[in-house]
Amino acid sequence: MNIPFSNLPRLVIIGGGFAGVALARKMVKEDVQLILLDRHNYHTFQPLLYQVSTSSLEPDSIAYPLRKIVKRGKNTFFRMTEVTSVDPENKKVHTSIGSITYDYLVIATGARTNFFGNTNIENNAMRMKNLPQALNLRSLMLENLEQAVITPEPERRKELLSFVLAGAGPTGVELAGGIAELKLNVLPKDYPDMDFTEMEIHLIEGADRVLPPMSTRASEKATKFLKKLGVNIYTNTQVTNYENNLVTTNTDVSLRTATFIWSAGVTGAPVSGIDASSLIPRANRYKVNQFNQIEGYDTIYALGDIALMETDAYPKGHPMVAQPAIQQGNHLVKNLKRHLRGQPMIPFTYFDKGSMATIGRNKAVVDLGKFRFGGFFAWFIWMFIHLWFLVGFRNRFITFFNWTYNYINYDKAARLIVRPFKNKKENEVERV
Ligand SMILES: Cc1cc2nc3c(=O)[nH]c(=O)nc-3n(C[C@H](O)[C@H](O)[C@H](O)COP(=O)(O)OP(=O)(O)OC[C@H]3O[C@@H](n4cnc5c(N)ncnc54)[C@H](O)[C@@H]3O)c2cc1C
């Protein structure tokens, strides 16, 4: 791995997501040798992935080079590699480019798409957990439109112009809203020779309402906004299969589509080598104590989506969203510093800053403590917060510029098939 020997304690962080970056950014200045490992050489701002898929933003706007984060320190290193396992007995991490020892290990590997064991869906559905997948989705949607414009058979054209999404959590809702915006404001200008009344967007949800993690008020407003945008919503409906362009469900709903997007669940992405008793099987997340130490290990910590900390307020662990990951990363900085100074660590407490989702142009819903609101003001807050949390001034500036341009011109800047969606195999390789 080409990491020099150092007398300083070695801190190895697996994963440059929200949690890993929050930790690394502050630990680079401390008296440790810091090594950040990730399979990608960039951090991804996942909340805006749907904007890459729907051609609003280029991928670079929501990615940030991990090397830029570690270069701020003297004894800090980044290595782009796939971590294959950890060996707690010998305090070693094994990767695709070699092995490395650690004094402190932090696992912040996040989550991956959960298909609940349905292999047909896993093999055939589009997913949107990382940038390559978001680009695949963008390419497939645009390729299907290019096909539709030259397809005379109405049935085949209908398949190409139908977009079906499973899962009406924030990701499904935002993506459905984004596709509906394309249909209403952008595509008719691009394809004047196509009848866009034929284009359909279907959103399927197993629960009895959209946005199940949010308040009922947010859910009602989101339903109203989506319907206004022409999205067909099916609640209390579970997708059971997707094969040969046919989506089937546990009700009488079945839909033909060439673009089926699965956003119906995530599960932890653990690394092998940690004792199975420390992994909560139903969630695939490591059980951690209030200092984020993995149960049974003093020097191995887990943060963010991969960590499940049971507390009175959150008996099933914190929600798998960005804030717990960021807050746990920041908190571990304090605790590692304390540990290095021989002081006792402080338990983590989560501060819930609320949740939000946007539904197309000018509309969003926000749950902020007791305050629940939706519409233009909520959309404005949504934009401000997302810009604020984007990593890097350049990304904020470009995103702000793109949003303003899109808003004024009713246009989307990134409708290019620069990276054609090839086949299922490619989709499989990029599975995380
Ligand atoms: C489409 C989408 C939309 C979302 N929208 C929102 C939102 O609006 N608001 C919100 O709060 N949250 C949202 N989330 C959830 C939020 O992004 C996650 O909760 C957050 O990213 C968790 O942070 P993390 O650091 O635990 O993991 P991640 O940010 O997922 O980072 C994990 C990192 O680990 C790396 N990694 C994993 N395994 C390995 C390995 N074996 N070897 C090397 N590297 C590895 C990955 O490449 C990745 O960089 C969204 C998620 C998605 C997918």
Q: What is the pLDDT of residues 161-203, one digit of tens each?
A: 999 999 999 999 999 999 999 999 999 999 999 999 999 999 9
Measured from the Cβ of residue 62, the count of other Cβ atoms closer than 10 Å reads 25
Predicted pLDDT at 406: 82
Predicted pLDDT at 227: 97
- The rounded Cα 214 to chain-centroid distance in angstroms is 18
Render pLDDT for 351-363 as a digit per residue (tens, 0 to 9).
Answer: 999 999 999 888 9
Look at 222-231, 300-309, 364-373 and tell me which has the smallest mean pLDDT.
364-373
**Residue 338: CB partners within 8 Å, gap ≥ 6?**
344, 345, 346
Q: Is 173 in the pocket of ligand 1 (CB under 6 A)?
A: no
**Active site includes 428?**
no
Q: What is the CA radius of gyration of the chain?
A: 22
Q: Is 110 in the pocket of ligand 1 (CB under 6 A)?
A: yes
pLDDT band per the 50, 70, 90 thresholds, residue 429: very low
For residue 130, report the distance from its CA to the centre of ligand 1, in Å.
8
Greater confidence, 160 or 369? Answer: 160
What stretch(es) of the chain map to CATH 3.50.50.100?
119-264+416-429
pLDDT for 427 beyond 50: no
Identify which of 56, 94, 109, 332 to mutate to test ligand 1's pocket (most ligand atoms within 8 A of the CB).
109
Predicted pLDDT at 431: 46
Render pLDDT for 255-272 as a digit per residue (tens, 0 to 9).
Answer: 999 999 999 999 999 999
pTM above 0.75, yes or no: yes
Q: Is 169 in the pocket of ligand 1 (CB under 6 A)?
A: no
In the chain, the amino acid numbered 212 is P
pLDDT for 253 beyond 90: yes
Predicted pLDDT at 171: 95
Q: Read off the tokens for 87.
A: 């060996």
Task: Looking at 111-182, list the stretches that DSSP marks H as alpha helix, in order from N- to C-terminal side.
Answer: 119-124, 131-148, 154-160, 170-181
β-strands 266-268, 111-113 pairing: antiparallel
Predicted pLDDT at 369: 85
For residue 332, report the distance from its CA to the centre of ligand 1, in Å.
18
Predicted pLDDT at 423: 59
Predicted pLDDT at 62: 95
**In the CATH scheme, what is the code of domain 119-264+416-429?**
3.50.50.100
Residue (of 231, 233, 264, 236) closest to 250 by Cα position = 236
pLDDT for 426 beyond 80: no
Q: Is 16 in the pocket of ligand 1 (CB under 6 A)?
A: yes
For residue 111, report the distance from its CA to the centre of ligand 1, in Å.
6
Given the residues 159, 174, 181, 205, the one annotated as active site: 174
Q: Is 270 in the pocket of ligand 1 (CB under 6 A)?
A: no
Greater confidence, 244 or 411? Answer: 244
- CA separation for the pair 72, 330 (Å, rounded): 17
Range 392-400 average pLDDT? 87
Range 60-84 average pLDDT? 93
- CA separation for the pair 398, 412 (Å, rounded): 14
What stretch(es) of the chain map to CATH 3.50.50.60?
10-39+81-113+267-340
Range 332-343 average pLDDT? 96
Range 318-325 average pLDDT? 96
Residue nearest to atom 8 of ligand 1 (CA): 47
Predicted pLDDT at 361: 85
Predicted pLDDT at 424: 55
Residue (of 90, 75, 66, 97) closest to 4 by Cα position = 75
pLDDT for 103 beyond 70: yes
Is the separation of the CB atoms in 303 and 323 below 8 Å? no
Render pLDDT for 16-27 as a digit per residue (tens, 0 to 9).
Answer: 999 999 999 999
**In the CATH scheme, what is the code of domain 10-39+81-113+267-340?**
3.50.50.60
